[in-house]
Amino acid sequence: MELLSIRGHVLEKGSRASMLKYYSEPLRLAKTFLMGIPVLMGVFEETQTLTIQVIEAYSEQALVPIASIRVVLEPRAGYARGFGIPELYHAEIKIVSRFPWMQEVVSSWIQTLHFWSGLGLFVFESILLLGLCQKIFPLKERTHVDSINQSRKE
């Protein structure tokens, strides 16, 4: 796998050996015999998923951004060039990237703004409500002397 710049220069290159599940000839024939009809009817699919982490720690430079990714499948050992490559009918690439902490906060500023404004409004309303409720429903103030007299009566 290669990360390419806008001009086609290779910025980062990585490779990882991998292998799909191998089935021996007798097992493959038995599976074809047993699962042939469900595969033809579309009830069962023969798929294999391969997850590979190729380039783990790449830091993109601001002046040379990544423009495209090139994936090259190489043949298995013992095969001539152009032979031994598995047949692919569907392929996906999942790119997982993480921004630095400050850039993550700036990029998600709307959610950050909503969170802090909601929290501030909640605190303001709570203080306002407590202040109004204290005037509407005044609490009986107990003095230290009242609590001592009440404990002596009991």
In a shared domain, residues 51 and 122 = no
In a shared domain, residues 31 and 70 = yes
pLDDT at residue 121, rounded to an integer: 96
In a shared domain, residues 51 and 121 = no
Kindly state the tokens that stand for 66.
């990544």
CA angle 98, 101, 103 (to 5 degrees): 80
User: What is the number of other CB atoms lying within 10 angstroms of the CB of residue 12?
Assistant: 16
In a shared domain, residues 73 and 122 = no
Q: CB of 47 within 8 A of CB of 86? A: no
Kindly state the tokens that stand for 92.
């996906």
In a shared domain, residues 77 and 51 = yes
Tally of domains in the chain: 2
Owning domain of residue 86: 1-97
Helix/strand/coil for 47: coil
What separation in angstroms does the CA of 55 have from each of 51, 84, 110?
A: 13, 25, 31
106, containing H or E segment: helix 101-107
pTM, entire model: 0.48
Of 11-15, 62-66, 119-123, the range with the highest mean pLDDT is 119-123
